[in-house]
Structure 1
Amino acid sequence: MDSDAAAAEGNITMALRPVLPQRLDWPSVMGLFMLNFGHLELALSDILKLRSRPESKNAVIKKSFHEKIRCLQQLAGQHPAMVAKRDQWEALIVRMDAIRDLRNHLSHSTLLHSVAEDFKTLIQVLCLTQDVSANVSNTLRLTFEELFDQNQRLADVVGELVALDHGCEGAYKPFSGTIGDDEMWTHCPDDAPGSGDTCC
């Protein structure tokens, strides 16, 4: 494994170390989700950088999370080392899209307080600021327990992303072809001069 691959693998390993709060309340659990979402994006960026031209690595980093997922989706359908597990990649990408939607929801939410029908129990939920006065049945109202559970699902997705990537034979060989409109992805044919190099 070359130095870039080794460094990226080191970053991915760091991404697997969970960020744990000292206490459990709304701010800590929301912050925990946002921090670990950053770990997910770091792992995704590292995976994509290993398959990009050296001069394009900075462009990969600057892509939005949505764009990075679409790059991964196209790679999974075309990269020789990933095609065999395309169904697994697609299933994981669906879960990553859902996590992205939740991240966006948290970014535009406020904590809503109400009282239960017994007039004693305080109810706290997260909802979009635009939906504060909307019908509960028509909007996403996230409870503390649901958000806490989503943190575990996020950690599971990070682990599955890294494990699936490492399970692809030749995973760190750059891809021959283009993704979308970007000429960022290439590799040397096996019989080409210098084919032992990471990128052409």
Structure 2
Amino acid sequence: MKRTDVVGLLEPLRRYARSLTRDESQAEDLVQDTLVRAYERQGSFRAGGNLRGWLLSILHNSFIDHRRRHLAEFRRLEQSPAAETAAPPEQESRVRLQQVHAAFMRLPDEQRASLHLVAIEGLSYQEAAAALGIPVGTLMSRLGRARAALRGFEAGAHLPQPSEAKRPSLRIVGGSDV
């Protein structure tokens, strides 16, 4: 692993970190943690392997670890307003871009991460699934749900805030609901 290889991947790492954290300073901290972990574990990188996928995988795992450790803080940050809406828009396209960005950020974490890796970073389904540590079929399912949610947004449907997103409740089939 050469230093120049990693330097060329800093921008994709930053983009993905911003997509996961929804915060610029947390994203920079996440990229820094990723680079430290990669340096500490450089012996586990296979020669000739996919450096970009390996680093994105480390970044994703670092995010999950951080999220588990700081769940209370994460909830507090998630409920804080993301942007001031009082400023008048400069152009109609800028407003539209902000609306799409807000809809993207309201997607559940796993859908947003999957869509970011495939649509923004340009990873193949196999590479994105490997980076997230999930099967390709699960990735495709998450992509389908994310795209459907964004199409619903285009049609005027309400996307829930991240704090509103809940898993559907399960019920027993063929038995009593007691």
TM over 0.5: no
TM-score by length of 2: 0.28
Which one has the bigger helix percentage? 2
Larger radius of gyration: 1
Answer 1 or 2: higher relative contact order, Cα 8 Å, separation at least 6. Answer: 1
